[in-house]
Each structure stands twice: as C-alpha cells, then as structure tokens.
C-alpha cells in the first residue's frame, strides 16, 4: 500500500512539475527579459488575462475547459497537457524502476517500513534530470536551441549527484579510495565522455560537410546527460539517439514533415532509455549479442554498419535541415 501511494504521489508530482515546465518552455527562450522571467502567474497566450489557479490544474484544467480558454474561448494547445502527462509518466517510471533498486519507502519482512534516504536522494536527482530532458526537448523542437540556462546548471546538478548518492555509478573498485570520490569521478567521466565524443562528432561532421553539422548546444546537452548517466550511459545515449534520429527523422521527411531536424529530442530519447534500461540494453549488446556471434561472424559488422549508417544519415538530415531552414 505504501509503495502504491508513493507511485501515485510520484505521478501527481510529475504532473505538477510538467505544468511548471510548460512555463519554462514558453518563457525561457523569449528575447524580452521581462517575458523570460519564470516568476509571476500564468496568463492566457491569446488575450493576456491572468489564469485562475483552478483553471491551471495539470491535465484536469485542460479537460474541464474542453481545451479552450475561459477568458476568450481560444483553443488551448494540446501541447500543455501532453507535457504534463509525459512528465507524470517519467516520474511514475522513476517510482516503478527506482534508481537504487528499491523505492524510498519499502516494507520490511516484520511488517515495518523503512525510509531510505539514499533512494530518496537518487529519486530527487533523477527527477530533476528527466524534467530537464523534457524542457530541453520541447524548447529544441520549437526554437532549435538547447539553452545554457538549463544545460549548464544541469551539469552542476549531475556532478552534485555524483558526489552523493552517485547516480552515475561508481568508477573503479579500489577500497582505498573513498566511495564519494569514485562516484564523483563516474559522473565527471560521463560529463567528459558525453561532451567530448559529441564535440568530436561535431568537428568531424563539419569537416566532412564543410559546414557546421551540429550545434554546440548538443555538445553541452550531452555533457549534462553524461553527468547523470555515466560514461557508458553517455555512449549508449549517443548511439540510441543517432538510431532514433535517423529512423524518425527519415520517416518525417518521407512524410513531407518539417525540414528542420533538431538533434536534442533524439538525444533525450536515448537518455531516457539509458536511464531506465541501460543494463538490459548493454547486456543485450555485449552479452547476448556476443553469444549470437559464436554462430554468426557477421554480428559485429552488422552492429557497426547500423551505427555508421545511422550517424551519417542523421548528420545528412541535420545538414539538410540547416540548409533548408
């Protein structure tokens, strides 16, 4: 019962955070400093009337208003409840698949309950991480930027999480080195590998295409992701992001979709997969896959070909979007 209450509470908290993220997504990219402020009450984007609190309830407010503003009757974008539901779903996943292997509150065999402070801290750090991913994703979709005001504090928060409780894992197993040092080094290694590899790809892509193929915001975004998921998670994020970007980007263009293809949302997809399913995916790639290779020597070449084709196709799509945009 306590676990179920925590899971429901996590989802409700996620919906509330998603409501705030809608404010961040709308205001943060604004050029006018007054409009960029995250303080103050929400106003109707059509007529500017202040929105009462009961109309601003996450998801429920949109449903009760039937998707239209009470003040002017203009339609309220489906984006708002979608962001709230997405954030609620990610927070629920954090409760169902807790970073420490168990929720902050769990039952003991004798019927009592234990509050695990480490697990609560891990949940809090990862909740901030997924919130940053959601905000950066939709800002990149709308404005093709990954703002420093999110990615740089995200790096710092990820490194703090590396100090304790070590959400990026542990680097090394030397008992003579303090655990806090090894967990911080794991987070720092993730930041350096995530940002460094993406920077190298950016340089290589620019050299091949004789034009900037990837924005520096993607480099800082990957550095932030690496600080949370570690160096292995950073590489896995980049791989999965390239595959998702190549497949979904190509499908969008074949459908006649938008010419511009931001890379941030695909990296965010890879980061979510790495956060929740890093171990099963790595086990498949490096345990199950090698076992299959015993019967098929073409396995490594297939994996390498998929990665290279995905990366090249994604860089072509990004370059085409920049040229057409």
Domain ranges of the chain: 1-143, 146-325
pLDDT at 80: 93
The dihedral through the CA atoms of 291, 275, 225, 165 has a sign that is: negative
| C-alpha span between 231 and 211 (Å, rounded) | 28
- The tokens for 245 are 């970007």
Query: What are the residues whose beta carbons fall under 8 Å from the beta carbon of 129, sequence distance 6 or more?
Result: 154, 157, 158, 167, 228, 275
Asked if residues 52 and 69 have their Cβ atoms less than 8 Å apart, the reply is no
Over the stretch 47-98, which tens digit does the pLDDT of each residue have? 877 888 787 889 998 898 888 888 888 888 899 999 999 999 999 999 999 8
Give bridge partners of residue 114 from the DSSP assignment: 106
DSSP letters, 57-88, are STTHHHHHTTTB-TTT-PBPPTHHHHHHHHHH
- Answer yes or no: is pLDDT of 257 > 80: no
Q: What separation in angstroms does the CA of 165 have from each of 7, 153, 233?
A: 21, 18, 17
Kindly report the average pLDDT of the chain as a whole number: 85
Which residue do the tokens 């309220």 mark?
A: 76
Band the pLDDT of 242: cuts 50, 70, 90. Answer: confident
Over the stretch 186-222, which tens digit does the pLDDT of each residue have? 999 999 999 999 999 888 877 877 777 678 899 999 9
Give bridge partners of residue 113 from the DSSP assignment: 107
What is the pTM assigned to this prediction? 0.86
- Answer yes or no: is pLDDT of 103 > 80: no
Residue 63: count other Cβ atoms within 10 Å of its Cβ: 10
Residue 200: count other Cβ atoms within 10 Å of its Cβ: 11
């Amino acid at each position: 019962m306590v676990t179920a209450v925590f899971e429901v509470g996590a989802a409700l908290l996620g919906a509330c955070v998603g409501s705030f993220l809608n404010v961040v997504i709308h205001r943060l990219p604004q050029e006018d400093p007054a409009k960029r402020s995250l303080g103050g009450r929400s106003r109707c984007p059509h007529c500017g009337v202040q929105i009462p609190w009961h109309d601003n309830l996450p998801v429920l407010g949109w449903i009760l208003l039937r998707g239209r503003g009470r003040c002017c009757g203009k339609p309220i974008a489906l984006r708002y409840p979608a962001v709230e539901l997405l954030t609620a779903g990610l927070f629920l996943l954090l409760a169902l698949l807790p970073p420490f292997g168990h929720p902050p509150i769990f039952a003991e065999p004798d019927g009592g309950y234990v509050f695990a402070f480490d697990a609560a801290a891990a949940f809090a750090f990862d909740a901030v991480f997924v919130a940053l991913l959601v905000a950066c994703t939709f800002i990149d979709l709308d404005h093709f930027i990954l703002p420093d005001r999110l990615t740089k504090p995200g790096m710092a928060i990820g490194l703090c999480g590396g100090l304790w409780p070590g959400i990026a894992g542990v680097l090394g197993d030397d008992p003579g080195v303090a655990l806090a040092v090894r967990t911080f080094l794991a987070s720092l290694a993730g930041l350096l590998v995530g940002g460094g590899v993406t920077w190298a790809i950016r340089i290589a892509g620019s050299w091949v295409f004789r034009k900037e193929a990837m924005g520096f915001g993607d480099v800082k975004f990957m550095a932030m992701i690496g600080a949370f998921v570690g160096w292995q998670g950073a590489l896995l994020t980049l791989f999965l992001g390239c595959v998702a970007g190549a497949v979904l980007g190509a499908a969008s263009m074949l459908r006649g979709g938008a010419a511009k293809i931001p890379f941030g949302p695909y990296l965010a997809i890879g980061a979510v997969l790495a956060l929740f399913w890093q171990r099963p995916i790595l086990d498949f790639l490096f345990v199950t896959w090698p076992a299959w290779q015993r019967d098929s020597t073409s396995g490594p070449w297939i994996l390498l070909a998929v990665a290279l084709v995905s990366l090249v196709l994604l860089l072509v799509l990004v370059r085409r979007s920049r040229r057409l945009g």
